[in-house]
Amino acid sequence: MSFRDGPFSDIKVPLTWAAGGAVLLALIAAIVLLMSDRRETLEEQAYGQIRATADSIQAPVSGALSAPVGWFRGGIAGVRGYFFAVSDNRRLRAENKELRQATDALAAERDVNDRLRALLKLRTEPPIPMVSGRSITDARGPFANSRLINVGRDAGLKVGYPVMSENGLVGRVVGVSGSVSRVLLLTDIASRTPVMIDRNNARAILSGDGGPNPKLDYMRSREQPKVGDKLVTSGDGGVMPRGLPVGVVVKGADGAWRAQLSSDRAPIDFVRILKFDDFSQLAVEQELSAPVTPEQMGGAIPQPVIPLKVVAPQPAPGAALKAAPAGTLVAPAPPLKAAPTLTPKAAPAPKTAAPKTAAPQTPAPKAAPAAAKLPSTSPIAKSAPPTAAPAVKTAPAGTAAAPKAPAPTPAASGPRTAPITSSAPKGVPVPPARAPAAVAPAPSATLPAAKAPTPQTPAPKTPVAKAPAIKGPTTKSAAGITYRKVQTPAPKTPAPKAPPPPEEAPE
Amino acid sequence: MSGFQAGRMLDPWGWIWAPFASCIFAAILVAVPIRLFGLRLPEPIFALVPAFAWAVIRPSILPPFLLLGLGLFLDIFRGGPLGLWPTGLLVAYGFVLATRPMMIGQSRPMMWAWFGVCCFICVGTAYLLTMLDALVTPNLLATFWQLLVTVLLYPFAHRLIARYEDADVRFR
């Protein structure tokens, strides 16, 4: 006997109201779940055990369903290859011809690049290990864009690893389980990726909005981007390596700058997962923090992370006035704590067109060995990484006194001299500097220079005296750079107001 | 017992569990990474078909909780924020349930339009919740395409309704 046939058959349940109550209950549960979700944090714990388990369960099902698609795709490609073999052959021959020329050009560029890197002692990024996987599901709605790939924790994957297809960046791992991982695509509404325009290094944040073309937000550039500009990852923030191809800039229908993703050129089937934890894995912290000796530097750019325990310059009146403005000093900047015996005493800050934040109190290294001058348009200077900027900031003041040359224009002053001054090649004999130059003690980000008096007189008006000859014994470093102990002659004109007596600058 | 009381019993497998399982299977099938002619396939919300049909056929206590489960499955399966689709589906179900006395028995085009409004409410709810959750405006065009392909699923809902609408005369 069923329930309806029993004594309760006459009882009319207000089913509409009951259904309404059920809707209300379920709705409350859904809202609570929504409010407690922490997906946007992209933390490993936020992904949750439930999602990881569900991914593990659905992976074989979706894998089985997607396998015939792969077979079908392969079959289509086979038939197409059979019927279009001749045209494909012609096309491939033409491509091969172009690629050979490109390979020759690439070899030459790589050779130059390697030499420049060796000269600058650039810390190149080590190769990043990769894992290959296959995409088995594809969620592509406006509110969630993600994929499951068939590699997971067993293959060493972690949350945050970048994922690439053969054409470009796809996204990054946001959840891992034993043999499956979930990849948040660049188009997902929670995706934010720091990118830059390859042409001018303009930074932007690639923000997914659920559409096929994510937006370029927070564009930071003096010039407008152009349609077709290539986008690569900028590496800012250290969450992704620099230089991964992302796509090209396009103008959206809404007028906003957007990206046409490189990974959209072809179906995303097999992907590569870069085992890139973060930026810190590219450098050894101890090596970065270790003090650097001139021998280690060999005329290269000082590493940006140097403990700045420096001493304020000894006021040597007049020495600075004989110097030319900043920007012409071409000397490999020594380490701030090293080689005091190789250098003359630092002169006080000259009245040059130093940056406004230049502080006479800025502790500078007591000397810098002379080095060759390079034009500011040197490719070396251009290729210097942004991290080389601290080299300028710690450039010594009035340390180079190359004889018999007119003072150059102050146009070359400023931070652009940093790569120049530090680009002296290792093992190259030091040519005479072309001008007596003194670099104003440039500000250091780590030093309290804000309250320092700013030089009043622009550099061109500074009387340039005949450059004194460099005297003193010379030494040669292991790197082949000649260091000369310079004795700065006494000034003929009264020196400007001397900076405060030397004192230990805070680190 | 007389047929006046309950007409005939609704088979829960036919009108509840079969659509439920079909939606899950369809969601898995649509998630297969495939392109047609180089274009990405749209991703309709199959769960809106039973959400609409269940409310039209008859009020019941079970469908809201099944929609909760269906929505949670979609969220987990697609990697979206947990609770997004349950909220959207339940709001749409509640809307249909509330307007049922007014719309029941209308012509097919009217029912299709009603289904369209139901889809709009569901997608609109998800849109607003995503805006609040991620503080980003989702792409309107992508949202429109998803809404459009979902509205086109009405024939499936109509088939389900036509099959079970008269099964329980108490709710006509």
In order, the DSSP letters of B27-88 are HHHHTS--EETTEEPP---TTHHHHHHHHHH---SHHHHHHHHHHHHHHHHHT--TTHHHHH
Q: Taking 60 as the threshold, does the pLDDT of residue B107 lie above it?
A: yes
CA atoms within 13 A on the CB side of A133: 33
pLDDT at A232 (0 to 100): 94
pLDDT mean over B12-34: 88
Is residue B12 one of the residues assigned to a domain?
A: yes
pLDDT digits (tens, 9 = 90+) for A463-503: 444 444 444 455 444 444 444 444 444 444 444 444 444 44
Give, for A60, the enclosing helix (H) or strand (E): helix A44-83
Q: Taking 60 as the threshold, does the pLDDT of residue B140 lie above it?
A: yes
Whole domain around residue B145: which residue ranges? Answer: 8-31+41-171
Q: Taking 60 as the threshold, does the pLDDT of residue A271 lie above it?
A: yes
Q: What is the distance between the alpha carbons of residues A84 and A243, in angstroms, rounded to a whole number?
A: 35
pLDDT at A266 (0 to 100): 83
Chain B positions in Cβ-Cβ contact with residue A144 (cut-off 8 Å) = 75, 78-81, 84
DSSP letter at A504 equals B
pLDDT at A248 (0 to 100): 94
Chain B positions in Cβ-Cβ contact with residue A140 (cut-off 8 Å) = 40-41, 43
- Domains: count for chain B: 1
Is residue B25 one of the residues assigned to a domain?
A: yes
Least confident of A48-52, A60-64, A141-145, A298-302: A298-302
Partnered with residue B35 across adjacent β-strands are B40
In order, the DSSP letters of A243-309 are T-EEEEEEE-TTS-EEEEEGGGGS---EEEEE----GGGGS-HHHHHS---HHHHTTSPPPS-----
Q: What is the distance between the alpha carbons of residues A474 and A484, in angstroms, rounded to a whole number?
A: 4
Nearest-CA distance from A350 to chain B in Å? 52
Share of chain A above pLDDT 70, in %: 50
pLDDT mean over A41-51: 64
Is residue B100 one of the residues assigned to a domain?
A: yes
Whether B71 and B86 have beta carbons less than 8 Å apart is answered as yes
pLDDT at A285 (0 to 100): 62
pLDDT mean over B111-139: 92
Q: Taking 70 as the threshold, does the pLDDT of residue A457 lie above it?
A: no
CATH number for A44-83+125-281 (one of 2.60.40.10, 2.40.10.340, 1.10.10.10, 3.40.50.300): it is: 2.40.10.340
pLDDT mean over A143-156: 91
Chain B positions in Cβ-Cβ contact with residue A2 (cut-off 8 Å) = 9
Least confident of A9-18, A258-267, A343-352, A414-423: A414-423
DSSP letter at A59 equals H
Nearest-CA distance from B15 to chain A in Å? 16
Mean pLDDT taken over chain A: 66
Whether A462 and A491 have beta carbons less than 8 Å apart is answered as no
Q: Report the residue from B59, B79, B138 with minimal CB separation from A210.
A: B138
In order, the DSSP letters of A209-261 are -SSSS-EEEEEE-SS---TT-EEEE--GGGSS-TT-EEEEEEE-TTS-EEEEE
Using the beta-carbon criterion (under 8 Å), do A22 and B136 form an inter-chain contact? Answer: no
| Structure-model confidence comparison of residues A375 and A202, the more confident one | A202
Whether A399 and A365 have beta carbons less than 8 Å apart is answered as yes
| Structure-model confidence comparison of residues A155 and A16, the more confident one | A155
Give, for A390, the enclosing helix (H) or strand (E): helix A389-393
Is residue B1 one of the residues assigned to a domain?
A: no
What is the torsional sign of CA A236, A241, A243, A244?
A: negative
Q: What is the distance between the alpha carbons of residues A358 and A369, in angstroms, rounded to a whole number?
A: 22
Q: Report the residue from A69, A190, A253 with minimal CB separation from B134.
A: A190
- Mean pLDDT: which of A148-162, A365-379, A404-418 is highest? A148-162
Q: Taking 70 as the threshold, does the pLDDT of residue A206 lie above it?
A: yes
Is residue B93 one of the residues assigned to a domain?
A: yes
pLDDT at A103 (0 to 100): 94
Q: What is the distance between the alpha carbons of residues A410 and B54, in angstroms, rounded to a whole number?
A: 80
Nearest-CA distance from A243 to chain B in Å? 27
pLDDT at A214 (0 to 100): 93
Whether A159 and A44 have beta carbons less than 8 Å apart is answered as yes
Q: Taking 60 as the threshold, does the pLDDT of residue A229 lie above it?
A: yes
Q: Taking 90 as the threshold, does the pLDDT of residue A250 lie above it?
A: yes
pLDDT at A121 (0 to 100): 76
Q: Taking 80 as the threshold, does the pLDDT of residue A194 lie above it?
A: yes
Using the beta-carbon criterion (under 8 Å), do B61 and A207 form an inter-chain contact? Answer: no
Q: What is the distance between the alpha carbons of residues A323 and A6, in angstroms, rounded to a whole number?
A: 110
Q: Report the residue from B35, B78, B134 with minimal CB separation from A40.
A: B134
Is residue B153 one of the residues assigned to a domain?
A: yes
pLDDT at B20 (0 to 100): 94
Interface test with A, best of B75, B102, B140 (most A CBs within 10 A): B75
Count Cβ atoms within 10 A of the Cβ of residue A73 and give its class: 0-12 exposed, 13-18 middle, 19 or more buried: middle
For residue A247, give both structure tokens.
């796509």
pLDDT digits (tens, 9 = 90+) for A157-191: 988 899 999 899 999 999 898 889 999 999 999 89
For residue A342, give both structure tokens.
């190789």
Q: What is the distance between the alpha carbons of residues A477 and A293, in angstroms, rounded to a whole number?
A: 10
pLDDT at B101 (0 to 100): 86
Determine what percent of chain A falls in helix, strand and coil, rounding each to the nearest 5. Answer: 30, 15, 55
| Structure-model confidence comparison of residues A36 and B9, the more confident one | A36
pLDDT at A260 (0 to 100): 93
What is the SS3 assignment for A130?
A: strand
pLDDT at B9 (0 to 100): 63
Least confident of A184-198, A261-275, A335-349: A335-349
Using the beta-carbon criterion (under 8 Å), do A135 and B33 form an inter-chain contact? Answer: yes
Q: How far is CA B49 from CA A1, A179, A439, B93, B152, in A?
A: 34, 34, 75, 10, 10
pLDDT mean over A436-440: 37
Categorize the per-residue pLDDT at B1 as very low, low, confident or very high, splitting at 50, 70 and 90.
very low
pLDDT mean over A66-89: 85
pLDDT mean over A231-247: 89
pLDDT digits (tens, 9 = 90+) for A340-395: 333 344 444 444 443 443 333 434 444 333 333 333 333 333 333 333 333 333 33
Q: Which residues of A307-339 are buried (b: 16+ CB within 10 A; e: fewer)?
A: ebebbbbbbbebbbbbbbbbbbbbbbbbbbbbb
| Structure-model confidence comparison of residues A252 and A331, the more confident one | A252
Residue boundaries of the structural domains of chain A: 44-83+125-281, 284-507
For chain B, what's the residue count? 172
Q: Report the residue from B29, B64, B76 with minimal CB separation from A26.
A: B64
Strand pairing report for A270-274 and A474-476: unpaired
| Structure-model confidence comparison of residues A152 and A310, the more confident one | A152
Q: What is the distance between the alpha carbons of residues A151 and A134, in angstroms, rounded to a whole number?
A: 8
Chain B positions in Cβ-Cβ contact with residue A146 (cut-off 8 Å) = 78-80
Q: What is the distance between the alpha carbons of residues A472 and A491, in angstroms, rounded to a whole number?
A: 18
For residue A99, give both structure tokens.
């690629």
Q: What is the distance between the alpha carbons of residues A89 and A104, in angstroms, rounded to a whole number?
A: 23
Q: Could you give the ipTM of this predicted complex?
A: 0.86
Is residue B3 one of the residues assigned to a domain?
A: no
For residue A281, give both structure tokens.
């894995």
Categorize the per-residue pLDDT at A402 as very low, low, confident or very high, splitting at 50, 70 and 90.
very low
| Structure-model confidence comparison of residues B69 and A432, the more confident one | B69
